[in-house]
């Protein structure tokens, strides 16, 4: 049995505390070594809860020679600096999405990771849930005939005032935080040659960032993708694949709890089949995927760069 990957965490963001740190602590293939914060008290309380070492300052954690890999849950605008610093220090990196707020920076970091022989993975958890593998299988087997269109929506209620998603200086806004999901799902099913046809972003009230948006994309063979997203709406998390003979619908597509029993609805003419799957933990699956990429020395995925380019194109098309 291979020894666990010795991991450190840079920052005590909410997603780290709620989702990733518990998963790291429970994973047999991970040795959670340390957690860093700029605030000593926060580092100490977090480390005590997860039975690891507290470190004050992000650079101090990267200076720990026994740490092989790091997880970075900092605000998006800080990703580029700390991913580069971590890679330069010889650490594998799992970073929250988006990898950066600039496609050129994303491309540079991917090249740096490749040149260093290091893993750089974007923390997109939903793609590791088996329900999407089942959907892809159904499409490949011709369950809905020839694919014609993809529709997806991800919307959430308004965050509390003061939430970093309202701060443009930290990479806030609905596009990078919420729109990322349906766009990534479109890439997942339709491939990297998607192009933005039209886009619209809406900014409401006194916010300095977009709070909702929509886009139309197309693949070379003519398949279209329509996505809707926002952080001023009732909760919706779903996608549909439309084909020449039927339709596949997935509800609760992006943020499934570990104990949630997913179901795929397959419509074929007048027949409807509800395919129920076993519950699965996409957070645990993501941690395992990160470890697998490190051990296999897998180069960073080109999808990361394509996603960054599409997000940038979507924003430019909407201005």
* Active-site residue set: 97
For residue 306, give both structure tokens: 């394509």
Reduce the DSSP state of residue 123 to 3 states and report it: strand
Please report, for the chain, how many H helices and E strands are present, in that order: 11, 14
For residue 11, give both structure tokens: 């920052």
What is the Cα–Cα distance from 293 to 118, expressed in whole angstroms?
A: 9
What is the Cα–Cα distance from 81 to 266, expressed in whole angstroms?
A: 45
Half-sphere exposure of 90 (CA within 13 A, CB side): 7
Task: Find all residues with CB under 8 Å of 151, minimum gap 6, and list them.
Answer: 225, 226, 227, 239, 240, 242
How does DSSP assign 39-79, residue by residue? SHHHHHHHHHHTTSEEEESHHHHHT-TT--EEEE-S-GGGH
What is the Cα–Cα distance from 199 to 238, expressed in whole angstroms?
A: 19
Reduce the DSSP state of residue 156 to 3 states and report it: coil
């Amino acid at each position: 049995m291979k020894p666990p990957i010795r991991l450190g965490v840079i920052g005590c963001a909410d997603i780290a505390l709620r989702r990733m740190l518990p998963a790291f602590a429970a994973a047999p293939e991970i040795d959670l070594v340390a957690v860093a914060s700029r605030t000593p008290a926060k580092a100490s309380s977090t480390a005590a809860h997860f039975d690891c070492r507290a470190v004050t300052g992000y650079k101090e954690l990267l200076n720990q020679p026994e740490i092989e890999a790091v997880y970075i849950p900092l605000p998006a605008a800080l990703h580029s600096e700390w991913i580069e610093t971590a890679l330069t220090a010889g650490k594998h990196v799992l970073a929250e999405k988006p990898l950066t707020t600039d496609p050129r920076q994303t491309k540079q970091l991917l090249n740096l990771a490749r040149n260093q022989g290091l893993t750089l993975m974007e923390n997109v958890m939903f793609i590791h849930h088996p329900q999407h593998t089942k959907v892809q299988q159904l499409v490949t087997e011709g369950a809905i005939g020839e694919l014609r269109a993809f529709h997806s929506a991800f919307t959430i209620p308004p965050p509390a005032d003061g939430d970093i998603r309202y701060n443009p200086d930290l990479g806030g806004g609905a596009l990078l935080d919420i729109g990322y999901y349906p766009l990534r799902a479109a890439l997942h099913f339709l491939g990297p040659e998607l192009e933005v046809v039209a886009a619209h972003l809406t900014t409401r009230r006194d916010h300095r960032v977009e709070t909702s948006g929509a886009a139309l994309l197309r693949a070379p063979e003519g398949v279209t993708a329509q996505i809707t997203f926002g952080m001023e709406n009732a909760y919706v998390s779903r996608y549909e694949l439309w084909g020449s003979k039927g339709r596949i619908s997935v509800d609760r597509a992006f943020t499934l709890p570990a104990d949630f029993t997913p179901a795929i609805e397959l419509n074929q003419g007048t027949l409807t089949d509800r395919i129920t799957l076993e519950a699965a933990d996409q957070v645990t699956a993501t941690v395992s995927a990160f470890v697998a990429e490190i051990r296999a020395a897998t180069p960073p995925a080109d999808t990361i760069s394509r996603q960054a380019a599409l997000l940038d194109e979507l924003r430019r098309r909407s201005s």
